[in-house]
Structure 1
């Protein structure tokens, strides 16, 4: 019985951390030889991260968290914040891992270092793993198709010498192995179309190729085309182990609050599948003009709604959105009174509980991958309204590849974190149409979603596809000689 220790280095944002911790919990529950140490880089703007870590630390004895010393970014280099954060932490990581190794060498009963598991943003830590002579793996918090896209664009750039930023504004359609349908170039992630940001995407994709394997938060039945496209390519082996969801809501202290009870109570009073839920992720928010259009669109649709409405951070600040002290300030006059019987405005949203509630019949979403997986788990259809990162691409895969959603706007972009472009506004009419389309979805799509919901749950059961892949990953880590 050889005991093995994995060092996990996640991106320290809640959207990446939650699924990474879920996979760690499954690994230690599945095999008692495994222990996991998380090295957490501190960034100052998300208290949710600390609450989440505290709640997990107390619940698991073979998962521990070590906080690395805090990094103060160079205020003159906001674009390279993450790159410089990772670089600056290499000595700290080396120090902690050396401590771990020497402890295990002095006590034969302790696990030996078996490898690093890295977030896609932390690939430069492969250098540190190499110094210790252990393999690196990636845990990808996004989809298998988005990984295929990243490899495709990197190969296009490095091997075919094509500059992807030239696709900006073009009508080109791209044919890639990970998709069954050609992708309109206008749906490429903003970073791929931006000269300044492109290297931040190309460089990790190169390094992915050096790893010993990539665990992906997805399941075979959902993304068979994308997953199969890797089997004959020159990329590391893929382990589709998802969906990884925080169903027991670790770190959600608000679950005990009156706000939470109030939301639950309101949903209890609504008819079955009658409510459309609007939420745009941990960083999603809109300016006043767009908020008014959403309000008018919802009102005109006549459907019941639960809307997580949050205030954008001050211009130029790297902060998550905050709660409005008084939403009346940004909503159309009289809106709250006119919709008092069929709508509710909230700030923070207990998303897992909302999507799992029988009165919720549709979800207007930014198409972050966690939200996509949660909506499939609960069988709630999505109307797509992507904002940033690879969300336009997720919207495309959800609607065109999987046939599981409807469109509000597939090519909408929130460029706040790239070049400050002002957005085009999505009109009340488009929003009304999207909401009606979503809430009056045809039976064929509902059936397909119901089927995928069942498959997402089955994948994680013993003998299911994801459970089998997880077993294979453990075997490859603990007993690499069997390969």
Structure 2
């Protein structure tokens, strides 16, 4: 029974009493995917909502990543509770495929969500549930919400252009009878309503580079057309073209631009790294960081090192060790990074550079010494870079990052290119069909020089930083979107 599962997390029951005594009149159920980036974004969105309106409370249902022994560590937050769903057996992931987590693992939790929601509704003096807020990879949860006649909202953790791409894939298949898989493996370009310029197929989201992935995208896009509304982590002034295209398509639910939704209270630097940054001139350091799953083979590491050295710029480089075969695609740390670097590199660059392991990205981008950012172009990283006004050199690796990079470099002129069509197949390391050769030291050097020296890009990024900050302030576009969204939630229970 579900009550036995809830007993493992007693503060959920405690929170029910708190809701009865407070001013809460509407409850939201958040269901993020188990990816840590999506989970953190969902928590930040939940915090934004409850901080803006005392009438809301939120329960976040936590799906543990396959094989994880425990869920994410969370700090108690007023009017937000966390329910860790029962862990599914790893056998649910069979047969193994890069998409099994979306097609097998997450759907296997629908029964647990049904039980939790039923238990919440049956609690004495329960607060009405105003809506499910689901992740882009949790479309299966729409069926659960429909069982309870509860409206569903999508929290899309990437940008408005990428959201439009997902819907356009469905249009291509269902309305235009196109084979999206064949299209994704061709060498051409197509017009997508949310992109200013035609999008080269080599930049397509990796989800549509297999027939299984295409089917997943199509099925979720069809479901998303029937939900109540979509929250997208973007700024209207940043993606005006994409937002207007989405609004013009009346088959797409209303889209609320609510971003940037960021966790700006991350971990600080270790003292020695902070001291090193404090001793560098303003905007003189290029920061290299490739996300929670970003790592390179030794030959590529050496090319990066040569490119850095040849550029002559000061640098802070987050260098991670690739995971072993048959292990989750999460990089580790080098005990001695010199084993993969060119001989003598650390000694020759001792005065101008620092090679570190994992880096607190927000702390780096916020530091006055950092003047450029070589990034994989994950959407959170793009928004953080723009928030702090740090120009970005695009080196996408997987997921929708190639599309993000294309939008930033080609459509918006807010980044420079290192290599827009680079592929790092971290989710299926035995499959090398989408792998590309190493990015050369010269390409890296040129990208670093451009990101540090292009005054036009730097000026546009600074202007976008100001717009991002204004958007979330009272009277701003994202502030107004959140206000409208909250009123929509409240109407659902009145």
Q: Determine if the TM-score, normalized by the shorter chain, exceeds 0.5.
A: yes
The residue that corresponds to 1:356 in the other structure is 366
Cα distance, 1:455 vs structure 2 = 0.5
The residue that corresponds to 2:386 in the other structure is 376
Contact 2:235 2:259 in 1 (8 A): yes
Write out the 4+ residue segments of structure 1 that deviate beyond 4 Å after TM superposition: 44-49
The residue that corresponds to 2:450 in the other structure is 437
Cα distance, 1:182 vs structure 2 = 1.1
CA distance in 2, matches of 1:362, 1:61: 37
The residue that corresponds to 2:204 in the other structure is 188
CA distance in 1, matches of 2:147, 2:308: 56
Q: CA offsets, 1:273-326, max 9 Å, x none?
A: 110000000111111111111111111111111000001111232241111111
The residue that corresponds to 1:272 in the other structure is 282
Cα distance, 1:48 vs structure 2 = 10
CA distance in 2, matches of 1:73, 1:204: 24
Cα distance, 1:168 vs structure 2 = 4.0
Contact 1:143 1:218 in 2 (8 A): yes
Alignment partner for residue 346 of structure 2, among 336, 340, 349? 336
CA distance in 2, matches of 1:201, 1:145: 15
CA distance in 2, matches of 1:10, 1:35: 16
Q: Confirm or deny that 1:50 pairs with 2:72.
A: yes
Cα distance, 1:50 vs structure 2 = 2.0
Q: Confirm or deny that 1:231 pairs with 2:247.
A: yes
CA distance in 2, matches of 1:321, 1:207: 34
Q: Confirm or deny that 1:207 pairs with 2:217.
A: no
The residue that corresponds to 1:405 in the other structure is 415
The residue that corresponds to 2:5 in the other structure is none
Q: Confirm or deny that 1:91 pairs with 2:111.
A: yes
Q: How does 1:52-91 map to 2 (within 5 A)?
A: 53=74, 55=75, 57=76, 60-74=77-91, 76-79=94-97, 80-91=100-111
Q: CA offsets, 1:376-415, max 9 Å, x none?
A: 0000001100000000000000011111000000011112
Q: Identify if the C-alpha distance between structure 1 residues 180 and 47 changes in structure 2 by more than 3 Å, giving closer, same or farther.
A: farther
The residue that corresponds to 2:8 in the other structure is none
CA distance in 2, matches of 1:281, 1:45: 21
Q: CA offsets, 1:187-230, max 9 Å, x none?
A: 11122122232222222111111110000000100000111112
Three-state SS of the structure 1 residue aligned to 2:40 is helix
The residue that corresponds to 2:43 in the other structure is 21
CA distance in 2, matches of 1:227, 1:236: 12
Q: CA offsets, 1:67-107, max 9 Å, x none?
A: 0111232264222123212221111111111111011xx22
Contact 2:65 2:71 in 1 (8 A): no
CA distance in 2, matches of 1:210, 1:236: 7
CA distance in 2, matches of 1:196, 1:227: 29
Three-state SS of the structure 1 residue aligned to 2:28 is strand
Alignment partner for residue 420 of structure 1, among 428, 431, 438? 431
Aligned length: 465
Q: How does 1:1-150 map to 2 (within 5 A)?
A: 3-43=25-65, 50-51=72-73, 53=74, 55=75, 57=76, 60-74=77-91, 76-79=94-97, 80-103=100-123, 106-107=124-125, 110-150=126-166
Q: CA offsets, 1:311-353, max 9 Å, x none?
A: 1111232241111111111111111111111111111111111
The residue that corresponds to 1:325 in the other structure is 335
Q: CA offsets, 1:130-168, max 9 Å, x none?
A: 111110100010000000001001110122111122234
CA distance in 2, matches of 1:335, 1:395: 30
Contact 2:64 2:71 in 1 (8 A): no
Contact 2:192 2:198 in 1 (8 A): yes
Q: How does 1:167-316 map to 2 (within 5 A)?
A: 167-233=183-249, 234-249=251-266, 252=267, 255=268, 260-316=270-326
Q: CA offsets, 1:111-147, max 9 Å, x none?
A: 2111100000001001110111110100010000000
Q: Taking structure 2 as the reference length, what is the TM-score of the superposition? A: 0.91
Give unmatched runs, 5+ long, in structure 1: none
CA distance in 2, matches of 1:411, 1:46: 32
Contact 1:142 1:216 in 2 (8 A): yes
Q: Identify if the C-alpha distance between structure 1 residues 366 and 407 changes in structure 2 by more than 3 Å, giving closer, same or farther.
A: same
- Of residues 178-187 and 449-458 in structure 1, the stretch that sits farther from structure 2 once superposed is 178-187
CA distance in 2, matches of 1:466, 1:45: 37
CA distance in 2, matches of 1:111, 1:463: 30
Cα distance, 1:465 vs structure 2 = 0.3
- Of residues 187-196 and 287-296 in structure 1, the stretch that sits farther from structure 2 once superposed is 187-196
The residue that corresponds to 2:4 in the other structure is none
Contact 2:235 2:260 in 1 (8 A): yes
CA distance in 2, matches of 1:358, 1:216: 29
The residue that corresponds to 2:475 in the other structure is 463
CA distance in 1, matches of 2:493, 2:145: 19
Three-state SS of the structure 1 residue aligned to 2:140 is helix
Cα distance, 1:46 vs structure 2 = 6.6
CA distance in 2, matches of 1:128, 1:313: 36
Three-state SS of the structure 1 residue aligned to 2:27 is strand
CA distance in 1, matches of 2:447, 2:89: 43
